[in-house]
Amino acid sequence: MSHVSSRWLFLLPMLFALTLTACGATERTEGEDRPEPRRSGLLVDPAEAERVGYAVNWIASVDVPSRQRIIAATLLDDLIITLERPTNMISAVSVSDGRPVWRRVADRSPDPFFRPTRRDDRIFINSASQLLMIDVRTGNIVNVVELPVAVDAPHTIVQGRAVFGGVDGRVFAIDLDTGQIRWNRQLSGRVTAAPADADDATVVGDDAGRYAMFDAQSGSMLWEGRTFGRNSATAAVDEDTVYIASRDQALYALSRSTGRDRWVYRDTVPLEWDPKLIGPTLFVPVIGDGRLVALDIEQGDVRWTYEGVAIPLATPREDRILLATPTELKVVRHGDGRELADARTRRLVTVLSGPGNSLVLVASNGDMSRLNPRR
């Protein structure tokens, strides 16, 4: 159930943007020198895709002007939603066939937008000061809600409400049907990460080291605690545990029902990016020195470490994980991280998990490709 987000826009594109240089040099089999795919719209060569167990399903392109670039993309049910800068241009692309559905400038102000969400026939996207409600079929803005306080992170939808954390430490919920504020609560410091979805509750951390779980309907605080550093990552949540990464160089596994410690993983550098759950493993990006740490969720033991920054994605096989970097896809063993195969790609903004264990590759110029698992 881990809800992936980031401090500023979206986690995956920010990681890619921060590590383009670091990830440009990758290990290769001796004597092997495969060229980067360069055909227009082709983000990965079909033969390369086959190496990692996928086949190219479609290629498409969003019509991005030369002055613009896609900085982020996310998958919302049957649509791929892209966000461009310097203007706040939003596009919707069908995940089934790559067909463009609509393209709109959401707002001409210089304020950037954060990660969008979806509920039924509405897409919701917020800036620092507003929440926009967009018709999923046309891209038309149907309502604009002014936020009561400036925010520095995306919202999260929990129980039909958009939950925000403000720059003044306020946590508040907006009813998505009426646009009204349903509850307000207060933490100690600035909130710089999206709240975490915990089904009927939400978990929020702040820059003062405080974190708390709130009931999504009433806003009542269910439990709270403190770390020894700033909390700038969205928590990961499963049926029993809440996982909070902190800049105090530790990741805390807390009982979901009580907030008490189950175990603590300690690193040597601050942990500032969102942990991600895949099966029995919690993946922790350690951006400070370019690592991805795979932790066993029962005891917090290190299963393996990938030396480099990569995004872990599930594959059709539970014993394998796909690691996406800006220029490669790598298949590794889930249990020990041993590399099994790799594929070279053009430089990407992000890689999304699609339906049926498919992958959607997105480049900054609007080129996209869907890869389906080979049967």
3-state SS of 102-121 is EEEEEECCCCCCCCCEEECC
CA-to-CA dists, residue 343 to 79, 192, 273, 324, angstroms: 26, 35, 26, 10
Residue with tokens 């040099």: 25
The answer to whether 321 and 315 have CB atoms below 8 angstroms apart is: yes
Higher pLDDT, 277 or 112: 277
Give the angle subtended at the CA of 357 by the CAs of 352 and 359, to the nearest 5°: 35
Q: Which stretch of 16-25, 219-228, 299-308 has the lowest confidence by average pLDDT?
A: 16-25
Q: Which residues of 183-212 are buried (b: 16+ CB within 10 A; e: fewer)?
A: bebebebbbbbbbbbbeebbbbbbbbbbbb
Q: Is the pLDDT of residue 8 over 50?
A: no
Token output for 119: 């509920």
Query: For the whole model, what pTM was predicted?
Result: 0.89
CA 171 – CA 278 distance, rounded (Å): 28
Residue pair 234/5 in contact (Cβ under 8 Å)? The answer is yes
Single-letter amino acid code for the residue at 235: A
Which pLDDT score, from 0 to 100, does residue 12 have? 46
pLDDT at residue 90, rounded to an integer:
95
What CA–CA distances, in Å, run from 15 to 21, 44, 131, 217, 276?
Answer: 11, 20, 25, 33, 14
Predicted local confidence at residue 364, as pLDDT: 94
The band of 33, judged by pLDDT with boundaries at 50, 70 and 90, is: low
In this prediction, residue 140 carries a pLDDT of: 95
**From the candidate CATH numbers 3.40.50.1220, 3.20.20.70, 2.40.70.10, 2.130.10.10, the one assigned to the domain spanning 11-373:** 2.130.10.10
Q: Is the pLDDT of residue 25 over 60?
A: no
The SS3 call for residue 312 is strand
pLDDT band at 27 (very low <50, low <70, confident <90, very high): very low
Is residue 326 within a helix (H) or strand (E), and if so which, with residue range? none
Query: Whose structure tokens read 């990741």?
Result: 251
Closest by Cα among 168, 76, 83, 93 to 127: 83
- Return the SS3 of 288: helix
Determine the average pLDDT of the residues in 321-346: 96
Angle 43-46-51 (CA atoms, 0-180°, nearest 5)?
105
Q: How many whole angstroms separate alpha carbon 288 and alpha carbon 339?
A: 23
* Boundaries of every domain in the chain: 11-373
* Residue 58 and residue 369 in contact, taking contact as beta carbons nearer than 8 Å: yes
DSSP string, 19-65: TTTTTTS----TT--PPPP-STT-SS-HHHHHHTTEEEEEEEE----
Give percent of the chain above pLDDT 70.
Answer: 89
pLDDT score for 107: 76
